[in-house]
Copies of this chain bind each other. A is one copy, B any other.
Amino acid sequence: MNFTIRTATVEDCKDIRRMMSELAEYLNITDQITITQKDLKQDGFSKNPLFHAIIAEVPEQHKTKDGHTKIGFSMYFYIYSWKGQTVFMEDLYVMPEFRGKGIGKALISKVAQLGRDAGCTQLKFTVLNWDKKALDFYLNQDSTDLTSDLGYHYMCCHGDAFQMMADKSSA
């Protein structure tokens, strides 16, 4: 199937938000999405964007029954590590009916390429351990599981705990 991978524009925010909801539903973490389409427009497409995104698109004749031609996306940004600048892929999503056609692989390769162009030597991301298909997909591309191999745990402080932690700072 023909598809194209391209940089997202502000006009894609509606579809990005839709696909984020679809992804969150699949991952059973819908409660973790609080950002709106408006937030995405402001945060990703203003002067100093907080994230970047790419879109996978199919021609009109392959559109979904709901009329969608934007059928996959990846959100990424740059972080820093002991190996210098690093590209972090926050989301990778392809709509179920378009899986198994190399679109996910094309998206992650594009993120890696853009990262390399920006001077990165590595790509980091997270995956849920029960999502065996995703885990196999990544391991098939020789990604390293830092959690299984080295014991890295991904941690978060949010809500009241975050507020209390910030309050404790005297300065």
Contact = CB atoms under 8 A, between A and B. Distances in A.
Interface in A116-151: 116, 121-130, 135, 138, 141-148, 150-151
A50 B78 contact: yes
B112 A165 contact: yes
Consensus secondary structure, chain A interface:
mixed
A143 B164 CA distance: 11
Contact of A35 (B83, B88, B159, B163): B83
A85, A127, A145, A166 — which one has the most chain B CB atoms within 10 A of its CB? A166
Interface of A: 5, 20, 24, 29, 32-35, 39, 43, 50-51, 75, 77-85, 88, 90, 105-106, 108-110, 112-113, 115-116, 121-130, 135, 138, 141-148, 150-171
